Structure formats: structure tokens, C-alpha cells
Structure 1
Amino acid sequence: MQILGLIAVGLVIGALARLIQPGRQRMSILATMLLGVVGAVIGGLIADWLDVGSITELNFWGFVFALLAAVLLVGIAEGVTAGRNRAVR
């Protein structure tokens, strides 16, 4: 059940990260979900490390850190894929 919750939270965080990131992103819903899940895990770890939350619970600071991590990941993913797309054309 926790895996389904992590996927749902990852999808929401990934979608919000894509909305915050300026410009058009050309990535699939699966890539959005995966980046959101990774961002959620990183955000939970940062909140746990700073002792303001836990990776196993959804709280404000964990959500903020997860969203920031996901925005950075979306930007990195777009930079990598944009560079690859320019080289092919």
C-alpha cells in the first residue's frame, strides 16, 4: 500500500514541479512520475536529516523539500534531453 501512496505522491509532486519549471517540458507521464517519486524520496531524506519530518510521513517541510528536489530534477532532465535532441537535428 505504501508503494501506491508513493506513486500517487510522486505523480502530484512531479506534475507540480513541471508547472513550476518555466518553459515547455517534453517528457512522458511516466518520466514525470519517476522524477516526482525520486524528488519525494530526496525531500523526505532531507527533512529527516534536518529533523523537521520523516521520510515515512507526509508533512509540510517534506513536501517543500520534495517539490524543490523534483523541480531541480525536471530541470536537469530537460537539460540532458534538450542537449541530446539538438545533437541529433
Structure 2
Amino acid sequence: MGYWIWMIIVSLLAGVIFGPLARLVLPGKQNISLGWTILGGGIGAFIGGLIAYFLDIKDTDGPDWIQYLIQIVCAAVVIAIIAARKPRAT
């Protein structure tokens, strides 16, 4: 159980980095706040971490680039969903 709590905490912290990165790879302008960007990045990082865990992508000696890529893609999907559901400012 400690692993999952640690994963949630790390995912929310990763949202600070992965959220803005995910917005960079998305086309167009997303009318969402920085808070929604970080939250969406954290949720995407958590989902991506779960996918990497179940695909048996283990920790390596260096950076886990495949896991990071999966997390950024998931963060981009979550942010795209959040941006589509938020009403547009006129």
C-alpha cells in the first residue's frame, strides 16, 4: 500500500512538470488555468505510471524515458479532455 501512496504523491509533483509539457504538445490554445494544468498533469502522470507499472516497465539505473513519455502522453490526453469540457471565455 505504501507504494501506491508514494506513486500518488510523486504523480502530483510530476504534474508541475508534465502538465505544461503536455500543453506544449497539444495543438491550439487551451483555455484552462495553471491549476487545472498541474492537476491534469498529475492525473495523467498517475495514469501513465499505472500503465508503465502494468506493462512491467521497471526502474532502471538512469532515467525511465519510456515511462516519462507514457506519462506525458497521458497528461496531454487528460488536459485535452479538461480543456474540451471547460466553457470558452468570450
Q: Where does structure 1 differ by over 4 angstroms across 4 or more consecutive aligned residues?
A: none
- CA deviation string 1:18-75 (max 9, x = no partner): 0110111111111111001111111110001000136xxx621221111111111111
**Is 1:70 matched with 2:75?**
yes
Which structure exhibits the higher relative contact order, with contacts defined as CA atoms closer than 8 Å and separated by 6 or more residues? 2
Q: Check conservation: 1:44, 1:53, Cα contact below 8 A.
A: no
Identity of aligned residues (%): 32
Amino acid at match of 1:27: I
In structure 2, distance between residues paired with 1:19 and 1:36: 12
Query: 3-state SS of the aligned residue for 1:53?
Result: coil
Counting matched residue pairs gives 80
Of 16, 29, 38, the residue aligned with 2:43 is: 38
Cα displacement (A) at 1:8: 3.5
1:11 aligns with 2:16: yes
TM-score (norm 2): 0.76
Compute the displacement of 1:6 (Å): 3.8
Report the Cα offset of residue 85 of structure 1.
Answer: 3.7
What value does the CA root-mean-square deviation take over the aligned residues? Answer: 2.1
Query: When you count helix as a share of all residues, which structure comes out higher?
Result: 1
